[in-house]
């Protein structure tokens, strides 16, 4: 199964180790050179410990969802291989995906 921008997938969390998984928001578009094999993703969390998280509300989901209230961590970027993904959880609206990517860009843009 190929995933697309806005899909939330559940898969490996290399930040915590081989035995951990978490939800991830796919942010790349179809022009990614390895689309379908590899995805650029931002982490989701149910924690509320830090300012700057982008809260995901129930109406931000166009399909599916997460079992607990979640937020996008816009500075937590990763590349996941297709084999790192356990399953699809849902799809977020284009508006929240655009917000997440815009916030991510603030961390990598020239000052």
Domain boundaries, the chain: 7-108
Specify the pLDDT at position 79. Answer: 93
Q: 92, 60 in Cβ contact below 8 A?
A: yes
Specify the pLDDT at position 106. Answer: 94
Scored b (16 or more CB within 10 A) or e, 64-82 reads ebbeeebbbbbebebebee
Q: What is the pTM of this model?
A: 0.93
Helix, coil or strand: residue 105:
helix
Give the pLDDT mean for 24-41.
91
- Residue 38's pLDDT band, with cuts at 50, 70 and 90, is very high
The answer for residues whose C-beta is within 8 angstroms of residue 51's C-beta and 6 or more apart is: none
User: Is residue 90 predicted with pLDDT exceeding 90?
Assistant: yes
Give me 49's structure tokens. Answer: 């410990």
User: Is residue 31 predicted with pLDDT exceeding 90?
Assistant: no
User: Distance between CA atoms of 47 and 6, rounded to whole angstroms?
Assistant: 21
User: Distance between CA atoms of 51 and 32, rounded to whole angstroms?
Assistant: 30
CATH class of the domain at 7-108: mainly beta
């Amino acid at each position: 199964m190929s995933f697309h921008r806005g899909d939330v997938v559940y898969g490996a969390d290399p930040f915590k180790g081989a035995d951990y998984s978490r939800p991830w928001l796919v942010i790349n578009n179809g022009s990614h050179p390895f689309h379908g094999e590899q995805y650029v993703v931002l982490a989701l969390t149910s924690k509320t410990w830090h300012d700057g998280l982008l809260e995901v509300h129930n109406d931000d989901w166009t399909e599916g969802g997460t079992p607990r209230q979640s937020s996008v961590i816009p500075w937590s970027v990763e590349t996941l291989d297709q084999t790192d993904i356990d399953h699809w959880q849902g799809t977020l609206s284009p508006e929240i995906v655009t917000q997440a990517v815009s916030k991510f860009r603030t961390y990598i843009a020239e000052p």
